[in-house]
Amino acid sequence: MSWQTLLAIGAGGFIGAILRAYLNGLVSHHIPHTLPFGTLSVNLIGSLAIGILFALFANTTQESLLSVEMKSFLTTGLLGALTTYSTFAMESFFLLQGGSYLLAAANMALNLFGTVLMAGLGFNLTSALFK
C-alpha cells in the first residue's frame, strides 16, 4: 500500500471521526431516548453510504472517475471512522448476494454477538482493575 493511500485513509479517518461525534451528539440531543439513536443513525448512514459507493464503483466504467486514494479516503477512512458497521453491512450483503446464506448468517451473528461480548468483556476486565 502506498504512502499516498495511507495518508488518504488517515485524512478520511480524521474527518469521519469528527463527523461521527458531531452527528451522534446532534441526533442524541434532538431525540433523547434510552435507545442510542445517535449511534444507530451513524451506523445506518454509514451503511447506506458504503452501499452507494460500492455500487458506484461497480457500475462506473471510467476507471479514472475516482482514484484508489479517493476510494480509500471515502470507504476505509471516512466511513471506517464514521462506522465500521458499514463495512460489516457491505460484507454481509455481498455474502447474501452471492448465495452464501449460512456464511452471511454466521458473519452477522458473530459480529453482533461477538462485538457485544467483547465490549462487555473489556468493560468488566477494565472495571475490575479499578476495584
DSSP 68-126: HHHHHIIIIIIIHHH-THHHHHHHHHHHHHTT-HHHHHHHHHHHHHHHHHHHHHHHHHH
Looking at the fold, whether 67 and 104 belong to one and the same domain comes out as no
Q: Which of 8, 20, 6 is nearest to 81 (CA)?
A: 20
State the pLDDT at residue 64.
63
Residue the block writes with cell 460500492: 54
Looking at the fold, whether 123 and 61 belong to one and the same domain comes out as no
State the pLDDT at residue 63.
62
Looking at the fold, whether 104 and 75 belong to one and the same domain comes out as no
Looking at the fold, whether 71 and 109 belong to one and the same domain comes out as no
Instruction: Report the percentage of the chain scoring pLDDT > 70.
Output: 97
Residue 12, C-alpha cell as written in the block? 478520511
- The half-sphere exposure of 73 on its side-chain side, counting CA atoms within 13 A, is 11
Looking at the fold, whether 70 and 114 belong to one and the same domain comes out as no
Q: Would the pLDDT of 130 be above 90? A: no
Q: Which domain holds residue 71?
A: 3-84
Count of the separate structural domains present in the chain: 2
Looking at the fold, whether 79 and 126 belong to one and the same domain comes out as no
Q: Would the pLDDT of 128 be above 80? A: yes
What is the average per-residue pLDDT within 89-102?
94
State the pLDDT at residue 20.
93
User: Taking the CB of residue 71, how many other CB atoms lie within 10 A of it?
Assistant: 18
Determine, yes or no, domain membership for 19.
yes
Determine, yes or no, domain membership for 92.
no
Looking at the fold, whether 77 and 14 belong to one and the same domain comes out as yes
At residue 39, φ and ψ (nearest 5 deg) are: -65, -45
Determine, yes or no, domain membership for 90.
no
Determine, yes or no, domain membership for 77.
yes
State the pLDDT at residue 1.
92
pLDDT 10s digits, 49-60: 999 999 888 887
pLDDT 10s digits, 29-83: 999 887 788 888 999 999 999 999 998 888 877 666 789 999 999 999 999 999 8
State the pLDDT at residue 34.
79
User: Taking the CB of residue 10, how many other CB atoms lie within 10 A of it?
Assistant: 15
Single pTM value for the model: 0.77
| Mean pLDDT for the chain overall | 90
